[in-house]
Amino acid sequence: MAIARKPSIRRLLLVGLASAAVLAYMVCIAILMVRSGHGIETYRTFWLVEEDWTSFLVFIAITVVAIGVGLVYRWREARKWRELERRYGTPEGDRVQ
């Protein structure tokens, strides 16, 4: 039985950068296809699902908006949490060391 190794940070960073590069490349292809008038032509994904370039761009836009909304909510929660800690302090039992 092989011993499972923890993935190194370098490998995870490399895979993340490669994924971001491929996604950016596909977005560029989609933009070129829509600008050239082929936005509603279908293509098949790896899983043989028919998709068109316009809906792919809509999906990317909705994903970016959802991530933005999530980050705003997280920022607001952290700001409120800091305000509560500033106002009332942190109990000794809840302090993380």
Tens of pLDDT, residues 12-49: 999 999 999 999 999 999 999 999 999 888 888 788 88
Contact 33, 41 (CB under 8 A): yes
**Range(s) of the domain holding residue 39:** 9-87
Question: Is 96 within the bounds of a domain?
Answer: no
Residue 6 is encoded by which pair of tokens? 């923890």
Question: Is 93 within the bounds of a domain?
Answer: no
Question: Is 51 within the bounds of a domain?
Answer: yes
β-bridge pairing 50-52 and 42-44: antiparallel
Number of domains composing the chain: 1
Question: Is 18 within the bounds of a domain?
Answer: yes
Question: Residue 25 has what pLDDT?
Answer: 96
Question: Residue 93 has what pLDDT?
Answer: 57
| Over residues 59-65, mean pLDDT | 97
